[in-house]
Structure 1
Amino acid sequence: MVTLKKNNFTDYTISIIEPWIKYLETIRGFGTHTLNAYKRDVLDFLKFCNNEKHNFLAPNKQVIREYLFNLSERKLSRPTVARRISSLKNFFRFLLKDKTISTLDVSIFKSPKLKRNFPKSIDSNLVTKALFSLIDEKNHAWINLRDRAVMLLLYGAGLRISEALSLKKKEAPRGDWLRVLGKGNKYRDIPLLPIICDGVKDYLDLCPFNVQEDGPLFLGKRGGVLSPRIIQRRVENLRYELGLPSHTTPHALRHAFATHLLSGGADLRAIQQLLGHSSLSTTQRYTDVNETELLSLHKAIHPRS
């Protein structure tokens, strides 16, 4: 459960925010990172209202304009500002639904327009090149196999890096399916390729530590929990050494999983389920990627282009 510290804010104000956080956690199933971000966003607005002597529970269009100007002066990025406004809109909608406040025009919460970013994929041949290069790296053999196993889960099963590193040994991929706990504390089942199971087994066979059944599947160099930053750094090194695209990151491997399935004729609904997207509109971004690739290909090879 995410708890709120009183800090310099009144008990009354905190008592208003806490039910909202509890609702997002227990009813909506939001994860800890999302809850913490929402909480920070609302508390930031509360601090602004306190400083400017505004009524926190009765904002109007002018207050929101002043707040947006405040965020701009602090040089916050557009995505961050958009998320803060979204958090406030969610919070005040809850207060209206909960009848904590009687009336409020939620249309005052207008986010800045964001440039639509499409997921960037990686060519399958480049992914294969990166995976095989790990075998010949001049590190401890078990570390190479560990990093390769993690990357296989990202590209071969479409896992988020947090999902892969949260797996316990007893949940290690061994059969045809893998059950993963994703965002919103929702489980999903993912079919497995034999190469993924073999890759994880190779890592476990060489791992010098006694990996406990209830402990993390992937361990760090000293036997502790493996940090996502280690995998991110490893992918960065591969990017420089192999001349991979600048957008090559662990998350790009998950994008590659989706776009390569779509290119192969996979159904969009199936990809949504495999990725664990709650909304189909999120998954539909991959069709935009494919359309862009098709347009480039058409222009490059069509005789009338």
Structure 2
Amino acid sequence: MEILSAFLEHVRQQRRLADNTVEAYGHDLRRFFGFLEEHLGQEVAIKIFRHLHASDIRAFLASRRREGLSDASIARVLSAIKTFYHWLDNHHGIENPEIAFLQGPKRGARLPRPVSIAAARDMIETADAFAEEPWVAARDAAVLTLLYGGGLRISEALGLNGDAVPAPERLRITGKGGKTRIVPLIPAVRQAMGEYARLCPYPLTKETPFFYGVRGKRLQAAIVQKNVQVLRGALGLPETATPHALRHAFATHLLSHGADLRAIQTLLGHASLSTTQVYTGVDSERLRAVHKAAHPRA
């Protein structure tokens, strides 16, 4: 159909969508057009799109659901249809207000994927194994220790200035939205930070970074992520073992050891308790796995 070819050419050339996305749009819309021909009993022409009802789109989505499509796939199909209609409106003056109000299935919140206690320990203990200089080794270990032991975001850790030494018992952190919180530092974190500070060849003052890259500039998140990627390969950990997974681990391991959810919210700097509550889902999944593995009747 010429109109479909023109639309796909537009999203490929003008919107510069990825080839896989364009291919998925084409597949979904061909299925949509085929459904309409059968559903309406007529050949699909551009004029019919002005008069389609939301119920027609829902009937198509229901047919795809019966074929076994997941919520995510249904949402993708609806996105393709809405993008097509947006193009029809802009390029052919075909407007259909009913389509704009269609909503896809609500997708459940994706649970955080923390590393295990053993994996967190192994990552921290092995962090210094691939550095060529002692101060870089101490730096890498200190960064990961701070993420896991303090629950910091990687941007928060790398945003610290040199006046973070000597490491205090309570560290003031400015997080998202400029919100400030106080993070207690356990002895292991303070020790790791102190060892790095002792070996660091660059000045550490309130005007300088605390974590340096090898060229004397503030350490970048991409370097930490690359180092963790190497660690994953060395330790045989999954791709979900990222720097941010250490922050997730901080929260879930506190929760599993009896910490109060409100306290964890404060430590993480979450504005809403509902954001922190996702970790209860992680802990529930862990408990179910333990029950299934240990119960004699499971």
Query: Is TM (by shorter chain) over 0.5?
Result: yes
**Distance in 2 between the 1:167 and 1:71 partners?**
44
Q: Which residue of 1 aligns with 2:120?
A: 127
What pairs with 1:89-168 in structure 2 (closer than 5 Å)? 108=101, 110=103, 113-168=106-161
| Contact in 1 for aligned 2:163/2:204 (Cα 8 Å) | no
Amino acid at match of 2:198: D
Q: How many Å apart are 1:247 and its aligned residue?
A: 0.6
Q: TM-score by structure 2 length?
A: 0.65
Q: TM-score by structure 1 length?
A: 0.63
In structure 2, relative to structure 1, the CA distance for the partners of 1:237 and 1:71 (3 Å cut) is farther
Q: How many Å apart are 1:166 and its aligned residue?
A: 0.7
Q: Which residue of 2 aligns with 1:257?
A: 250
In structure 2, relative to structure 1, the CA distance for the partners of 1:108 and 1:156 (3 Å cut) is same
Q: Which residue of 1 aligns with 2:59?
A: none
**Distance in 2 between the 1:115 and 1:173 partners?**
43
| Contact in 1 for aligned 2:169/2:184 (Cα 8 Å) | yes
Amino acid at match of 2:194: K
**Distance in 1 between the 2:252 and 2:234 partners?**
25
**Residue 180 of structure 1 aligns to a residue in which SS?**
strand
Unpaired runs of at least 5, structure 1 = 1-60, 62-66, 74-106
**Distance in 1 between the 2:117 and 2:103 partners?**
40
Q: How many Å apart are 1:211 and its aligned residue?
A: 2.9
**Distance in 2 between the 1:172 and 1:251 partners?**
24
In structure 2, relative to structure 1, the CA distance for the partners of 1:121 and 1:234 (3 Å cut) is same
| Contact in 1 for aligned 2:151/2:250 (Cα 8 Å) | yes
**For the aligned residues, what is the CA RMSD?**
2.2
| 1:209 correspondence with 2:190 | no
Q: Which residue of 2 aligns with 1:301?
A: 294
| Contact in 2 for aligned 1:166/1:216 (Cα 8 Å) | yes
Unpaired runs of at least 5, structure 2 = 1-53, 55-77, 85-99
Query: What per-residue deviation string (whole Å, max 9, x for no partner) do you get for residues 208-236 of structure 1?
Result: 22233311111111001111000000011
Q: How many Å apart are 1:198 and its aligned residue?
A: 1.3
| 1:199 correspondence with 2:192 | yes
**Distance in 1 between the 2:235 and 2:225 partners?**
15
| Contact in 2 for aligned 1:173/1:192 (Cα 8 Å) | no
Instruction: From the CA coordinates, give the structure whose radius of gyration is larger.
Output: 2
**Distance in 1 between the 2:256 and 2:166 partners?**
26
Q: How many Å apart are 1:297 and its aligned residue?
A: 1.1
In structure 2, relative to structure 1, the CA distance for the partners of 1:210 and 1:270 (3 Å cut) is same
